[in-house]
Structure 1
Amino acid sequence: MGRWVPDRPEDVATIFAEADFPWWIAGGYAIELAVGHELRAHGDLDVLVLRRDQGLVRDLLADWDLYVADPPGQGELRPWRPGEVLQPPLHDIWCRHTPKAPWSVQLMLDEAEGTQWVSRRNPAIRLPIDRLGRTSKTGIPYLVPEVQLFYKAKATRNKDEADFEAVLPLLDAPARAWLAGAINVIVPDHPWLRRLLPVG
């Protein structure tokens, strides 16, 4: 499937500077943007966009080499053809600057209904789109930590535990409550719940 040399968030911000749709740095880089410093090395760089904006994203990256994971999570990639509208469950797009370049950006498509972001994992989990992201001190939009941690909770790895520990002190009570409720829907026995919910 080829090697990864991920772009940096600032590189993506330059590429997406002309975007007239919302987008957010996601994954481990989003946690770093929240805490304000680097935590670890990264094997890829995730960018979240809404599925309804996929045509705009495809146009913005028209000169790139774009492949969709089909089916998701199975390690199989196929070209994302110009004009093709990706339907659920397809949501994972690998991007590289040219066919001979390493992969550098992983686009993730998420659902929306009106002004609400809707989790692709469970439509009961929602958040107003205007609360889905923040902007770093350097002007880079990133996914709020509670939503990023929700995605990391399904199959937690060591790096996800490290991200949780790093950003937990920054989560206020509403963020902790939302994250606990969201995790409880998908992994009701997750150990993070004991850290998020008040005792008593």
Structure 2
Amino acid sequence: MNEPLIMSLSPRAGGNSDHAAALFARSLDRESRPVFLREHQIEPCTGCGCCAEDGLCRIGADGAEELFSRLDRASGLVLTAPVYFYHLPSQAKAWIDRAQSRYMARQSGLRTPQALRCAYVVLVAGRTRGENLFAGILPTLNYFLQVFDFRIEKTLCLRGLDGADDFSRDRAAADAVRDLARSSGW
């Protein structure tokens, strides 16, 4: 296995999720650089059901499988993401939906579970309140990551960071991400 994979799921370049991913990477003892989902073309799942036959997606040449392979090789995982309407941005959700092929491969015995690896999640919301602000995202990420043998160790839910540079100006948010990175032991 390689090193941990740090990935920003934000469609906006240079936003708060990107800043959180970059800070997490800089806070590790090793040199790491984030991967940005927006730099990969992801086609949505069409629900064709072909993956039920052999666990392979027939959609074609986009970035989903390459990113899934990176998940397979990673020794750990960090996902940073903004909150859009109480959930993940559409490209992130499309990528997660494409993991149906991996789920089907596991269900049919074509893919066997491996040792669990640690995952860390940083969610960044512009809203300052909302009782269920993160409630829709967490089960989705949990089940998605289980397909790739990751267990979410810790989740950091940040609020009130809406403007592109809000994270950079929020010392408490930056300290929380640094602490999370250091707690990973990577």
TM over 0.5: no
- Greater strand proportion: 1
Shorter-chain TM-score range: 0.3 to 0.5
TM-score by length of 2: 0.33
